[in-house]
Structure 1
């Protein structure tokens, strides 16, 4: 496989790659900008920042900036962390805007990673992500599109290198599947919902956060990974790193023939209603008494919270019993 070398000067080893390294794994990153692989490496080897990586891959080229027998600073797990001290860092380019260039860069990165796995006698278990070593949501766009999907791409390329036939991309029909899915990922970027059973950026609809719960009405295999279909019609990943599926909510088993009644979207409260800035507030902290009457839509329900209803007029959260909705039903 063709790799262009543009290696850092030994004069910068002290800040870019100060330690000898015997690698044990690959660590995948996304660049979070739209520079080419050549520009990524050129910028990295020319500055004096303690930030470095071994390879950058774009839609056309693989460029190396750090020798593989030297460590790099990329995983956020400190001077003795296994990511920084034992990981070959591979940056996938064009992840800020995504689209066809990023998709092509991912394909080339999967081929290159498979090449490295075969070269070193490693398996798919040696392919890790930045997020495995620190809280950073990286490789962000690859995670949005499905980490297992990417591993499947690498495995298919490795199979081909080992003389095995590439399995066809696994896709399936919508299956009956009922329950609830809760967002367990606590990263600042949240988890993306899609308008279709697709990992493509063009179908991204909205971002949801830890603690939100949704009703699942089906599932479908998409590029070898299940996506859950939600009652709203949107789709979400089934990856256990980010969500938790269960068949019961607040001790009540879900009905397989009929989904729970949705929360009614209107509420009304008057003078004296307590409205909070924080859904977990109590009566003595983070709350205020609203001084006027208002009615309209709620924009979010957090089941089990002390103040579960988010109002769309900007006043905050309330637990007013006059609100015409059910706190046990997720949106």
Structure 2
């Protein structure tokens, strides 16, 4: 799968790239809701002058490629839950999964992409969110399955398998405490305990930063 960056201009109408700094803590999964559109079409729609919606996303993926449309350290309008400091719009990287063409291949690409992003950040599948989790919208709709969300559970398990070699249910969890206070769980893989860096760092009062271009995580206190 090709991964490329094609950022929409800051001047894009309807404030779709608001230039609000973001330190993401989760990744939110969406479906595009368009059965005839490829990733390139979705990227073009963001700057189409007939588009009057104040809505945007970070990454869109199809059966051939993934396109990063807004830098991952900036907010996008995708969660439908406003602009509060703890909203999905202000804290979560959004990934749109295209519904056109070979959807199984697109889903394979999305699984690999999400697993790679989680691994780069030292995160587990507990950092994954649905659009539904932020605003109650039935999205990603192709994972809804009449309210059972079996597609969502399967997607998370596939990401966990890609990430750790085990599905989510079989990953050995590690409870993590900082000064006696429980924080987010880590996991055990091949004899090593992986601890969520942001959760642990912030519990110590440190500022945690991720440089996606240089792939550097830093803690400053």
Deviates more, 1:28-37 or 1:143-152: 143-152
Give the corresponding residue for 1:111.
Answer: 112
Secondary structure of 1:11 counterpart? coil
Contact 2:14 2:52 in 1 (8 A): no
The answer to whether 1:22 aligns with 2:26 is no
Q: What 5-or-longer segments of structure 2 have no aligned partner?
A: 170-221
Preserved CA contact (<8 Å) 2:31 2:141: yes
Please give the secondary structure, in 2, of the residue aligned with 1:21. Answer: coil
Divergent runs of 4+, >3 A? 45-48
The equivalences for 1:316-327 within 5 A come to none
1:103 to partner: Cα distance? 1.6
Structure 1 residue 14 displacement after superposition: 6.9
2:95 — aligned with what? 90
Is 1:72 aligned to residue 76 of structure 2?
Answer: yes
**Pairing 1:152-167 to 2, within 5 Å after superposition:** 152-159=157-164, 166-167=165-166
Residue 57 of structure 1: aligned partner: 61
In the aligned structure 2, how far is the partner of 1:146 from the partner of 1:65?
26
Higher strand share: 1
Give the equivalent residue in structure 2 for 1:137. Answer: 138
Structure 1: state its 5+ residue gaps. Answer: 160-165, 171-331
Shift of 1:49: 2.7
Match of 2:41 in 1: 39
How many angstroms apart in 2 are the aligned matches of 1:106 and 1:50? 27
CA distance in 1, matches of 2:132, 2:141: 9
CA deviation vs aligned residue, 1:135-165 (integer Å, no higher than 9, x gap): 2100010222521111001111111xxxxxx
Q: 3-state DSSP class of the match of 2:95?
A: strand
Counterpart-to-counterpart distance in 1, 2:2 and 2:38: 16
Given that residues 12 and 48 in structure 1 are in contact (C-alpha distance below 8 angstroms), is that contact kept between their aligned partners in structure 2?
no
Task: State the number of aligned residues.
Answer: 159
Aligned pairs for 1:169-180 within 5 A: none
1:2 CA drift (Å): 4.0
Q: Which structure shows the bigger proportion of residues in helix conformation? A: 2
- TM-score normalised by structure 2 residue count: 0.67
What RMSD in Å do the two structures reach over aligned CA positions?
A: 2.1
Corresponding residue SS for 2:144: helix
Deviations, residues 50-108 of structure 1 (Å, cap 9, x unaligned): 1000010101110111111110001111121521101100000016xxxx711211111
- 1:234-260 per-residue CA deviation (whole Å, 9 max, x = no partner) reads xxxxxxxxxxxxxxxxxxxxxxxxxxx
TM-score normalized with structure 1 length: 0.45
